[in-house]
Structure 1
Amino acid sequence: MATAPAADQKRLLDVQDADLRAQQLRHKRATLPQNAQLDELNARLADLHEERIARTAEAGDLRRAVTKAEDDVQAVRTRQERDQKRLDSGSGSPKDLQALQSELEVLARRLSALEDVELEAMEQAENAETVLASAVEQAVALEAQIAEVNAERDAAVKEIDDELVKVHDERGTAARDLDEGLLKLYDKLREQHGGVGAASLVGSTCQGCHMTLNAGDLAEITAAAPDRIVRCEECGRILVRNA
């Protein structure tokens, strides 16, 4: 039957307390609210990055459309000015001059249509540039927010890690020279039972599973030698008596 000095069994609760605090601190570090906030912010930034790419391409296409429209308008105006000069000079046969007049009328209609196209292209390009600028501005703001939350998270992690170092040292002190067999059994049970391998017996209740022992088990545990390692019949954890 496994035994360990009663004093070691009582000191095992100090080890258990340190292990529980370390477990809670690691959980706290893994579930810091800044982690979820950063996940959300980075997802939004990724969406904005994709939008910026799309809006940049769109704005580029529209700028090229504006340039083409401007070139088309300028080409018609140049031709219109040339024909008007020829018409104003009066040189040429009446038939040629009449043809020039007809062409100028066609060019005027063509110019009006092209100026409408140019104006629409300019408006679309301006709107696209506005949307792109907004996406860039939002991205810059998000990056600043991410940097701020990162700093908050890093500060919180450092605080937790500093506390973990203290708890680790306390655990080392509590476990120093502890009965090897007792500590080995404790570590095995702690792994099996969610981080709790030993618990105190308060009255007839195991503080590990908070179940009340039946009278027979309680009587056997009470009568056991102080150095005997007893375990809860309900959860199997090491029971520390007179803790």
Structure 2
Amino acid sequence: MKADPAVQRRLLDLAEVDGELARLAHRRRTLPEHAELTAAEEAVRAGKDKLVEVETAAGDLDRDIRRIERDVEGVRARTERDNQMLASSGIGAKQATDLQHELETLARRQGVLEDEQLEVMEQREAVGVDVEHSRGVLAAAEQELSAITERRDNALADIDASEAGRRRAREEVVATIPADVLAVYERRREQRGTGAALLVARRCQACRLELDRTAIAELKAAPADELVHCEECGVILVRTEGSGL
């Protein structure tokens, strides 16, 4: 295929723009914020799970405290009633003895309940500290996630802007290249990742390999307007005075 040497040189401009676009795409895929976001999201999930765990434990203890308080109030009410009955006139000796025995039992029961209440309240206080700590950890994790998300979004916005500029530049270059030559370039780029490269000192700048004598002889013999390819990687080779031919 024939292509004016000036058109061939524009293929190098196109290859440079495509290389920049490829690097931007690679940067987009490999932003460190992607991995940081994954870790930050996991930290938030773990923080939420831990907070639910300690808040559940706190709720269970709160229910225990309320139950014990109801039991204590019940014992106190029963004790007050028995004391009133014991202090009233007209009760027999046996009833007084039974009431006294019940009061002793109620006193022991109240003591057990109050000890249990104290123990549960101490547990609740400790869990309360865990709840506040977990809330702080979760808040910090969410703040870190927000900061990383903002950095990621800013980085992507920069890449978007750079890509937009490079695509405009690509359109400008493509407009100067004949359709048939461009089609060959695009096929090579799709197959090899690079469509065209400069030949410098008998070395292809795409695969970085030095061509053998047979290939060099063929390139020397090819007219300047002939579209030639690297025998090693297949890209279009653009020849200049520095190609060593």
Fold conserved between structures, TM > 0.5? yes
Matched residue of 1:211: which SS?
A: coil
Structure 1 residue 165 displacement after superposition: 1.7
Indicate if the aligned counterparts of 2:37 and 2:148 stay in contact, CA closer than 8 A.
yes
RCO higher in 1 or 2 (8 Å CA, sep ≥ 6)?
1
Spell out, residue by residue over 1:132-167, the C-alpha distance to the aligned partner (whole angstroms, 9 max, x if none).
222222222222222222222222222222121221
TM-score normalised according to structure 2 size: 0.91
Which consecutive segments of 4 or more residues in structure 1 shift more than 3 A?
88-91
Structure 1 residue 213 displacement after superposition: 0.7
5 Å-filtered alignment, 1:111-130, equals 111-130=110-129
Q: Which amino acid aligns with 1:179?
A: P
Match of 1:226 in 2: 224
Aligned-partner Cα distance in 1 for 2:90–2:149: 79
1:202 aligns with 2:204: no
Flag structure 1 segments of 5+ consecutive residues without an equivalent.
none
Percent identical among aligned pairs is: 37
Match of 2:233 in 1: 235
Spell out, residue by residue over 1:31-52, the C-alpha distance to the aligned partner (whole angstroms, 9 max, x if none).
2222221111111111222222
Matched residue of 1:227: which SS?
A: coil
5 Å-filtered alignment, 1:8-157, equals 8-89=7-88, 91-157=90-156
Q: Which range moves more in the overlay, 121-130 or 171-180?
A: 121-130
Matched residue of 1:235: which SS?
A: coil
Aligned-partner Cα distance in 1 for 2:131–2:90: 54
Aligned-partner Cα distance in 2 for 1:65–1:201: 83
Match of 2:4 in 1: 5
Structure 1 residue 91 displacement after superposition: 4.4
Matched residue of 1:187: which SS?
A: helix
Indicate if the aligned counterparts of 1:38 and 1:150 stay in contact, CA closer than 8 A.
yes
Flag structure 2 segments of 5+ consecutive residues without an equivalent.
none
